[in-house]
């Protein structure tokens, strides 16, 4: 039954997508949205039916479906049984289709709400969304079908299946369950959907951009109408990246949070380009400049999401994130080629529409700072793209395996990151058209002094390591520049409004925040990025690492902590066996906590998933990993992560800036952004 319902949902979504393309093209030609509501409903209904059928099959332990038989187990607990719906290749594509259908539905609502006589861009954008939906529902119906019926079962899975929902099913008694790594932490249920929302949300500005190009309608209308969707996508993508780093830190037992894994890079690249697009779109809206560049950025951001999908789901790389080798790889690569070639061909044929763009009056201006920001972000993205694809290209051409590791990325991106922080601090203090260098220097004097003072304080009480001090100085400069700008504007406003009577500064600060929420939301995101930079500076340069062999009763001193190995433990839970060690942690003779690093064993797995135990303090984390445990004792790896909380706080603050910009009531035109 679930197979039939799922296939019906996929085919319904596919039919609705084709229908939407037809009505969208007709609507773009005649400037009307008439007849587009029903195909949008059809897409959403079909996608929801497919997702519900898959989740119902998982909850009901219907092992007659190949996907359930090979990725689920009766013992898989909630919420990991639900998360199994997107823990493997085919299910993740079903979720992709559902989220795309939701974005299409919201886009249609926006088009109808903003409908004006002769509107062609909106229907054209819906037609483009329909084309993208045809592809994703098409692969669900073919190479990534999650509703194949198991026709040959083994004791713990399925080895042969049929795409026909009425085929004679042979269900195994149980399945192996999801990848142990993917059921070892609750963030697995949250991190992938957040990333998908970010990735798929970037389809909307891409659709508006392609619609504007195809219909030969330049200007800023497509930017205004897609900006909210871009912010939604950016906010979710930011959150997804932060939660992914957090998940890696909590689960992968190596004490780090970012290893420049190709699939980590695949999420970072569209984020960098989308961030550049958010900034450059403001320049075009305000000054009419960078028109061609905005089309390039929106095409690039969407293309990088397809590239990321290919890297994750094709099996061409070995990664904790990647799925097994699948026929979907060549299909995704072909779609990526069509997107890139088709989009840039369309852009080239419409270049005359965007060639006549006003020049910048001065590089020392708000638009000049945005241009610098864009150049740095796109160079950053290009460096990450090069480092990610180079090993794949070399292997494809020569068969040789090469590696591009963290040292390459650190050498290349650290200078770019510091330059970006500098631009983030200076940019908001500049004015449109042309800034007065003397006034700019005066407005930045206090933030510079505060930043240098923070650097001096770091040298006195923490470290003299140059990278750490530079990160503190640059990050503090960004935060101080934003705060000083707010206070200066509030003071000027208070003086102008006083008329001889006192005006409370706090009231003026609230008035400033309410008058330009998009601008200050952007400053909040900048502050979040600055905190991330400071956190990276501390964790990358001040962390301590050591390993020790211990027997029960042994003690060891590490990084100011007194660690005592009390006893081993073995626990059998519903879905796993847990073997670990109890470590007592004391500071200055006083016990502060008890940590239990462990290895979790799922199903028939005998290797175990080593799971760290973490003690969190304001100064940073103590991170204990059980490398080995046996009757003789344990091999314990000990790490510290100074200031690691700054990364999590900064990432969530940056995403919070995007959320604020989305939800704040706008009382003034957009003047700046994330």
Q: What is the largest CA-CA distance in the chain?
A: 88
Q: Tell me the two tokens of residue 585.
A: 């942690």
Does the pLDDT value for residue 319 go beyond 60?
Answer: no
Q: Is residue 120 part of a domain?
A: yes
CB 657 within 8 A of CB 641: no
Q: Looking at the structure, tell me whether residues 504 and 484 fall in a common domain.
A: yes
- Quick one: which of 537, 540, 526 has its CA closest to 458? 537
Ranking 41-45, 324-328, 616-620 by mean pLDDT, the lowest is 324-328
CB 78 within 8 A of CB 59: no
Task: Look at residues 178, 207, 242 and tell me which one is the last residue of a structural domain.
Answer: 178
Q: Is residue 58 part of a domain?
A: yes
Q: Tell me the two tokens of residue 194.
A: 């957040």
Q: Looking at the structure, tell me whether residues 44 and 150 fall in a common domain.
A: yes
- C-alpha 551/C-alpha 633 separation (Å) is 4
List, for residues 384-418, the tens digit of each pLDDT value: 999 988 888 887 787 777 778 888 998 999 999 99
Ranking 111-120, 197-206, 441-450 by mean pLDDT, the lowest is 111-120
pTM given for the model: 0.92
Q: Is residue 184 part of a domain?
A: no
Task: Look at residues 178, 209, 232 and tell me which one is the last residue of a structural domain.
Answer: 178
DSSP for 587-606, written as a single string: ETTEEEEEE--EEEEETT--
Cis check: omega of the bond before 28, within 30 degrees of 0 = no
Q: Per residue, what are the HEC states of 188-221?
A: HHCHHHHHHHHHHHCHHHHHHHHHHHHCCCCCCH
Q: pLDDT-based confidence at 573, cuts 50/70/90? A: confident
Structural domain range at position 166? 1-178
Q: Looking at the structure, tell me whether residues 520 and 620 fall in a common domain.
A: no
Residues of the chain with pLDDT > 90: what percent? 61
Q: Looking at the structure, tell me whether residues 652 and 595 fall in a common domain.
A: no
- C-alpha 125/C-alpha 137 separation (Å) is 18
Mean predicted lDDT score pLDDT of the chain: 89
Q: Looking at the structure, tell me whether residues 529 and 655 fall in a common domain.
A: yes
- Res 387: pLDDT: 92
CB neighbours of 620 closer than 8 A, spacing ≥ 6? 538, 539, 640, 641, 642, 643, 644, 645
Q: Tell me the two tokens of residue 142.
A: 């073919």
- Res 667: pLDDT: 44
Q: What values do phi and psi take at 526, rounded to 5?
A: -60, -40
Name the DSSP class of 148: P
- Res 608: pLDDT: 81
Helix (H) or strand (E) holding 287: helix 262-287
List, for residues 105-163, the tens digit of each pLDDT value: 999 998 888 766 678 899 999 999 999 999 999 999 999 999 999 999 988 889 899 99
Q: Looking at the structure, tell me whether residues 37 and 76 fall in a common domain.
A: yes
Ranking 142-151, 379-388, 512-521, 580-589 by mean pLDDT, the lowest is 512-521
CB 92 within 8 A of CB 86: yes
Q: Which residues pair with 598 in a beta bridge?
A: 580, 611
Q: Looking at the structure, tell me whether residues 46 and 136 fall in a common domain.
A: yes
Does the pLDDT value for residue 270 go beyond 60?
Answer: yes
List, for residues 236-263, the tens digit of each pLDDT value: 999 999 999 998 898 876 767 888 888 8
Q: Is residue 254 part of a domain?
A: no
CB 489 within 8 A of CB 481: no
Q: Looking at the structure, tell me whether residues 598 and 522 fall in a common domain.
A: no
Q: Is residue 353 part of a domain?
A: no
Q: Looking at the structure, tell me whether residues 652 and 641 fall in a common domain.
A: no
- C-alpha 523/C-alpha 425 separation (Å) is 9
Q: Looking at the structure, tell me whether residues 529 and 551 fall in a common domain.
A: no
CB 476 within 8 A of CB 458: no
Q: Is residue 671 part of a domain?
A: no
3-state helix, strand, coil in the chain (%, to 5): 60, 15, 25
Q: Which residues pair with 620 in a beta bridge?
A: 617, 642
Ranking 176-180, 372-376, 498-502 by mean pLDDT, the lowest is 498-502
Task: Look at residues 120, 144, 178 and tell me which one is the last residue of a structural domain.
Answer: 178
**What is the dihedral angle through the alpha carbons of 355, 358, 364, 370, rounded to the nearest 10 degrees?**
-50
Q: Is residue 293 part of a domain?
A: no
Q: Is residue 640 part of a domain?
A: yes
**What is the dihedral angle through the alpha carbons of 482, 491, 361, 670, rounded to the nearest 10 degrees?**
70
DSSP for 511-528, written as a single string: HHHHH-HHHHHHHHHHHH
Q: Looking at the structure, tell me whether residues 94 and 68 fall in a common domain.
A: yes
Q: How many CB atoms lie within 10 A of CB 117?
A: 6
Does the pLDDT value for residue 330 go beyond 70?
Answer: yes
Q: Looking at the structure, tell me whether residues 87 and 164 fall in a common domain.
A: yes
CB neighbours of 326 closer than 8 A, spacing ≥ 6? 89, 143, 144, 313, 314, 315
Q: Tell me the two tokens of residue 502.
A: 């006192």
Q: How many domains does the chain have?
A: 3
- Quick one: which of 309, 315, 327 has its CA closest to 143? 327
């Amino acid at each position: 039954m679930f197979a039939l319902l799922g296939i019906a949902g996929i085919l319904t979504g596919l039919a609705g997508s084709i229908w939407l393309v037809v009505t969208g093209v007709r609507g773009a030609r005649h400037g009307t949205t008439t007849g587009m509501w029903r195909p949008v409903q059809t897409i959403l209904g079909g996608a929801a039916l497919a997702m519900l059928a898959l989740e119902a099959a998982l909850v009901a332990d219907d092992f007659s479906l190949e996907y359930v038989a090979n990725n689920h187990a009766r013992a898989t607990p909630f919420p990991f049984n639900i998360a199994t719906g997107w823990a493997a290749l085919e299910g993740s594509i079903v979720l992709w289709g559902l989220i795309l259908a939701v974005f299409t539905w919201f886009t249609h609502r926006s088009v109808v709400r903003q409908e004006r006589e002769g509107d062609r861009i909106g229907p054209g954008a819906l037609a483009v969304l329909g084309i993208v939906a045809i592809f994703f529902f098409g692969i669900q119906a073919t190479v990534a079908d999650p509703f194949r019926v198991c026709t040959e079962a083994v004791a713990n899975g399925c080895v042969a299946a049929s795409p026909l929902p009425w085929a004679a099913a042979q269900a195994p008694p149980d399945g192996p369950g999801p990848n142990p790594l993917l059921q070892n932490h609750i963030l697995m249920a949250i991190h992938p959907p957040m990333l998908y929302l970010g990735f798929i949300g970037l389809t909307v500005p891409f659709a508006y951009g392609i619609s504007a190009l195809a219909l030969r309608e330049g200007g800023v209308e497509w930017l205004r109408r897609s900006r909210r969707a871009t912010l939604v996508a950016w906010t979710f993508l930011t959150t997804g990246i932060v939660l992914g780093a957090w998940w890696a830190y909590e689960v992968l037992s190596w004490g780090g949070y970012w290893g420049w894994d190709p699939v980590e890079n695949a999420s970072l690249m569209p984020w960098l380009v989308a961030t550049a697009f958010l900034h450059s779109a403001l320049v075009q809206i305000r000054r009419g400049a960078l028109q061609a560049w905005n089309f390039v950025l929106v095409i690039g951001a969407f293309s990088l999401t397809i590239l990321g999908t290919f890297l994750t789901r094709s099996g061409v790389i070995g990664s904790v994130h990647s799925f097994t080798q699948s026929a979907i790889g060549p299909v995704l690569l072909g779609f990526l080629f069509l997107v890139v070639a088709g989009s840039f061909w369309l852009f080239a044929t419409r270049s005359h529409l965007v060639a006549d763009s006003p020049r910048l009056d001065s590089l020392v201006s708000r638009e000049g700072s945005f241009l610098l920001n864009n150049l740095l972000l796109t160079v950053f993205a290009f460096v990450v793209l090069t480092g990610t694809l180079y090993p794949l290209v070399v292997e494809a051409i020569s068969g040789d395996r090469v590696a591009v590791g963290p040292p390459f990325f650190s050498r290349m991106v650290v200078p770019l990151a510091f330059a970006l922080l500098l631009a983030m601090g200076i940019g908001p203090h500049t004015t449109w058209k042309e800034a007065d260098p003397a006034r700019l220097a005066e407005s930045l004097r206090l933030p510079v002094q505060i930043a240098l003072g923070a650097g001096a304080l770091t040298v006195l009480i923490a470290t003299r390591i140059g990278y750490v001090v530079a990160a503190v100085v640059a990050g503090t400069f960004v935060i101080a520049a934003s705060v000083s700008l707010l206070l200066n504007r509030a003071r000027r406003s208070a003086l102008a409004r006083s008329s001889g009577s006192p005006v409370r500064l706090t009231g003026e600060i609230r008035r400033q925040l309410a008058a330009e929420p998009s601008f200050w939301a952007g400053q909040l995101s900048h502050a979040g990025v600055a905190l991330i930079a400071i956190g990276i500076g501390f964790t990358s340069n001040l962390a301590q690492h050591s390993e020790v062999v211990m027997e029960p009763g042994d003690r060891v001193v590490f990084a100011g902590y007194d660690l005592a190995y009390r006893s081993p433990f073995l626990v059998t839970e519903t879905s796993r066996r847990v073997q670990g060690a109890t470590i007592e942690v004391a500071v200055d003779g006083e016990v502060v906590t008890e940590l239990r690093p462990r290895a979790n064993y799922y199903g028939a797995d005998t290797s175990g998933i080593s799971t760290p135990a973490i003690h969190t303090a304001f100064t940073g984390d103590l991170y204990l990993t059980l490398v080995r445990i046996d009757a003789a004792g344990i091999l314990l790896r000990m790490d510290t992560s100074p200031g690691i909380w700054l990364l999590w706080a900064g990432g969530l603050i940056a995403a919070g800036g995007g959320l604020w910009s989305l939800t704040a009531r706008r009382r003034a035109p957009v003047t700046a952004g994330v």
